Amino acid sequence: ATLGTLLGLADRVDVSASCSLLHVPLDAKAERDIDPQIARWLAFAKQKTQEIVVLARGLSDGTDAVAAELAANRADLASRADAAITRDPAVRARTAAI
């Protein structure tokens, strides 16, 4: 569900991770060997926790309170969708053949 859909249910919704973060790497920003373009698309434990805080704040304070974070997330999603490295025709052909 989108954050806007849940706004009326803020008093009945708990925002949390869907699973334990115990085995998730700690911080994507600490990784030095990941292409910076790809690193923007990753969320390790620290980033996932920050995302949970943003969603909880948006749920309690409204989407305007987290507009900048939501805009940054949309930009990251768009950059991934537009990135040439995510559109390898050979991989898409093999996947389609499954």
**For 41-65, what is each residue's pLDDT tens digit?**
999 999 999 999 999 999 999 999 9
Per the prediction, the chain carries an average pLDDT of 92
Q: Which residue has the higher pLDDT, 11 or 17?
A: 17
Which residues does 85 contact at the CB level (< 8 Å), separation at least 6? 37, 38
pLDDT of 39 over the 80 cut? yes
Mean pLDDT of 28-43: 92
pLDDT of 72 over the 70 cut? yes
Q: Which helix (H) or strand (E) holds 37?
A: helix 36-39
Q: CA 12 to CA 10: how far, in whole Å?
A: 5
Q: Which helix (H) or strand (E) holds 81?
A: helix 67-82
Q: What is the DSSP letter of 32?
A: S
Q: CA 28 to CA 71: how far, in whole Å?
A: 20
pLDDT of residue 61: 92
54 neighbors 30 (Cβ within 8 angstroms): no
| Both structure tokens of 54 | 């943003």
Q: Which residue has the tokens 């008093």?
A: 11
pLDDT of residue 51: 96
The pTM score is 0.81
